[in-house]
A and B are shown apart, each in its own frame.
Chain A
Amino acid sequence: MVKSIPHGPSVLYIDKHFIHEVTSPQAFSGIEKRGLKVLRPKQVVATADHNVPTQNQHLPILDQLSRLQVNQLIENCAKHDIELYGLGHPFQGIVHVIGPELGITQPGMTIVCGDSHTSTHGAFGTIAFGIGTSEVEMVFASQCLLQSKPKQMRINIDGVLSRGVVAKDIILYIIAQLTSGGATGYFVEFAGSVIRNLSMEARMTICNMSIEMGAKGGMIAPDQTTFDYLEGRQFAPQGEGWTKKVEEWKGLVTDQDAIFDKEININAADIQPMITYGTNPGLGIAINALVPATEAIADEGERKNLVKALDYMGLSGGNQLLGTPVQHVFIGSCTNSRIEDLRMVANVIKGKKKHEGVQVMIVPGSQQVAKQVYAEGLDKIFTDAGFEIRQAGCSACLGMNEDKIPAGDYCVSTSNRNFEGRQGAGARTLLASPLTAAAVALTGVVTDVRDLMPQP
């Protein structure tokens, strides 16, 4: 923190600033209009992800506006001396996948990006949050942001996870409990034995969706799992510098006697494989539960919301989702496109074929993840099953690039948002884990993955 303004916000110094093509052009033109340069270009890392096609990336982008936007990023980065991992670069990928996998994201940093899922990086014990374009411009101009201290919440998850329950189910469960606005104004720490036992990929999935309950950010204290993940990565400290840094990072834990504005305890055994039925990520249920009946909702505002959501989704309250025919499965996005997610899918579908009524798109989060998929032979498992493997990008998560779900169709998606039209105008999104997505790919209907798993 550089300083505090009396009775006002504080000046927060930003260590790393990730940018992409969609939320940066107006920030570049903004500083140029003021006659400024990017103050610390070496602390900015750029990639193209939202607007890129996931096929034929070696060819010029077909959509003219997308091409212009991506080209503008190339020009802006060249002009301001910013490192760009653009299309064709071996490090290109979804911004929240590449930061961690390259070791750019490190414990204790302050990290921002013009993207709400910047909370992902909190999995490394960073203060990471999404910002708007005016704020991108502020960081360009000063490497700082004006921030007020958020309230603090801790969510402890202890106990033993049930069969078929993975990180995505944990976070969908938490959001369903808290609602889509339930953590607004808070920065959330995820803690407890369950979190300690999760891999970095799983921790990223959880922190990624902190924003879906309105949180400013989510974070997990760094530990040996964090250090093991980072060691040897491209931009992680090396040699003596590494040892020194790890010692420093070990101190980044919450004080024993810390008091939170809100503390929530969750028993892992209460969490089932989850799926959403509505049009915000808080509208989720255990996969074998009933969709809430509208008449059972007492609050008028909530009831109206649910009626509208179910109408859009073409679902009726009081019924099961299990068995609902699904036309698309999307496996990808900054929530679930890392190698561990794709291995999880491969394990379920190995040697099997997808259902003929469903189209399955699997989109690795980065060029490096894609490389790993081919190195491990997962590509063969996917193609044998009839899945379509695409190239790295945000893809069908947000209905901005070529990958869209047609109106009226259901898509079981490992992404993070089920808002109306999110995956394409009229598309109906059911958010779920990679395990559940894999199960649905095989059956063509909403399926409880535990039914396909060997009995314990």
Chain B
Amino acid sequence: MEKLNIIQSTFVPLAMENVDTDQIIPARFLKATTRDGFGKNLFRDWRYENNDENQPKADFVLNQPQYAGKILVAGKNFGCGSSREHAAWSLLDYGFKVIVSSFFADIFKNNALNNGVLPVIVSDAFLQKIFQQPNTGTLTISLENQTITIDATGEQDSFEINNYKKTCLINGYDDIDYLISITSEIEEFEHAGNF
């Protein structure tokens, strides 16, 4: 997993609530057996008319050239629904490193963290402030300091993240590295008949 600490980038505003993982990546694209290449189908049915890449929907934010960047800013309850990790893979493959919202669905949040995509949880008020920024503005996220800043105005919000996960992201570790390192303790637990 890639290390992650400070991200400064323009952002893509997706001012919609309850964005479910079926929208992020529809089920018909879950037939792949690798983790790669999902970015081209990210938000597929919101992005294209008639499922045709030659017919981009002009009103969808990913098709609007003024919006770009490594940060996606979305309305509350982002990533609800299915547990498909393909949703996190498609966002990462498309180029997003950070997703900002006022709250995330649990499974999506874990899937993002397990792929080095940082879910940043801000207050509703701060989220609205970001949506009101011009498209040329940048955001700076510091994982170390757990802060997100609107660079044009200097306005800042802090965000919570589990300390263990924070260390993992900064160092590029994943949970499997840790779990494998305690195999003998897991075996002791099994032998004690605790399960």
Contact = CB atoms under 8 A, between A and B. Distances in A.
Contact of B174 (A25, A134, A145, A398): A134
Contacts of B105: 181, 184, 214
B34 interface: yes
Interface stretch (A193-201, A332-340, A413-421): A413-421
B111 A132 contact: yes
Closest 10 CB pairs of A and B: A8-B164, A181-B77, A142-B179, A134-B114, A132-B111, A132-B85, A65-B31, A25-B33, A400-B27, A130-B83
A214 B77 contact: yes
A199 to B, nearest CB: 27
A215 to B, nearest CB: 8
Interface of B: 15-18, 20, 22-23, 26-28, 30-35, 45, 51, 75-77, 80-85, 88, 103-107, 110-111, 114-115, 162-164, 174-176, 178-180, 182-183, 185-186, 189-190, 194-195
Contacts of A400: 27-28, 30-31
A279 to B, nearest CB: 8
Given A417-B22, A421-B26, A11 B85 contact: no
B77 to A, nearest CB: 4
Contacts of B104: 184
B165 to A, nearest CB: 8
Contacts of A308: 16
Interface string A109-141: 010001110000000000000111111011001
A143 interface: yes
Contacts of B15: 304
29 contacts: A8-B162, A25-B34, A26-B35, A39-B183, A39-B186, A65-B31, A72-B33, A116-B107, A132-B84, A132-B110, A134-B111, A135-B175, A138-B176, A146-B164, A146-B175, A180-B80, A181-B103, A184-B103, A184-B104, A280-B18, A304-B16, A398-B27, A400-B28, A400-B31, A417-B20, A419-B20, A420-B22, A420-B23, A421-B45
Contact of A425 (B20, B26, B88, B179): B26
Contact of B179 (A22, A63, A146, A305): A146
A147 to B, nearest CB: 9
A148 B162 contact: yes
Given A3-B185, A114-B83, A116-B82, A65 B179 contact: no
Nearest to B113: A134
Interface in A75-126: 110, 114-116
A214 B106 contact: yes
A223 interface: no
Given A72-B33, A398-B27, A399-B27, A214 B80 contact: yes
A47 interface: no
Task: Specify which of B18, B32, B82, B178 lies most central, judged by the most chain A CB atoms within 10 Å of its CB.
Answer: B18
B174 A26 contact: no
A305 B17 contact: yes
A32 to B, nearest CB: 12
Contacts of A302: 17
Contact of B28 (A11, A280, A399): A399
Given A115-B82, A134-B114, 5 more contacts: A9-B164, A22-B30, A29-B33, A130-B107, A134-B85
